[in-house]
Amino acid sequence: PRRLERMVVVACSRIGSVCVVLENLVDAHNVAAVVRTAEGCGLDAVHVVESPNSFRCSRHIAPGANKWIEIIRHSDVHEAVASLRAAGFLIAAADVGDGCEPFDTIDVDKPIALVMGSEKNGLSVDAKASSDVRITLPMAGFTGSFNVSVGAAILLYELSRRRRQHLGHLGDLGDDVRQARISR
């Protein structure tokens, strides 16, 4: 009974209007860290672009987290962006450099898909071009950017917090989706 009660509470707190898209991450530890962060922030889904690298999630880093979050696979970034845009998501590409806006200045009045790029090369040209906005985490030190899993943690935590504040409640999943999550 306590486990079922906890599952109901968590399912009622899940948010589907914030998600992350992982474009071509190489390191299974980074993938797992982002999956674990997304689940810990109460997100409902992680989108994974599997071109050219297949999705691999280290079980040692995200023990059980991938059981409680939807992993949605895409063959390329265009497919991922098109499906999210059709669902009404703002596509926010995490990036550095000219043309980026500080992440805390974007509106959270509509669903947000955060696109994160590979560890070595960052976002692809296609991911940048297909985004609605490029956002950045302002840095105070000499380092130019955070590790992808650290950047995702900061951004997902803050975007989901702000989105929930905008909604005025913790979760936004429909009754049917919530019930499906509880029934796993």
**pLDDT tens per residue, range 115-164:** 999 888 899 999 999 999 999 999 899 988 899 999 999 999 999 999 99
Q: What is the pLDDT of residue 64?
A: 65
CB 69 within 8 A of CB 45: yes
Least confident range from 41-55, 76-90, 91-105, 139-153: namely: 41-55
What percentage of the chain has pLDDT greater than the value 90?
72
Give the pLDDT band (50/70/90) at residue 181: confident
Higher pLDDT among residues 182 and 131, named by residue:
131
pTM: 0.92
Closest CA to 82 of 123, 20, 118, 131: 131
Mean pLDDT over residues 63-88, rounded? Answer: 90
Higher pLDDT among residues 94 and 50, named by residue:
94
Count CA within 13 A, CB hemisphere, residue 137. Answer: 23
pLDDT tens, residue by residue, 38-70: 999 999 999 999 876 666 665 655 566 767 899
Q: What is the pLDDT of residue 155?
A: 98
What average pLDDT is seen over the chain?
91
Q: b vs e for 143-174, b when ≥16 Cβ sit within 10 Å of the residue's Cβ?
A: eeebebbebbbebbeebbebbbeeeeeebbbe
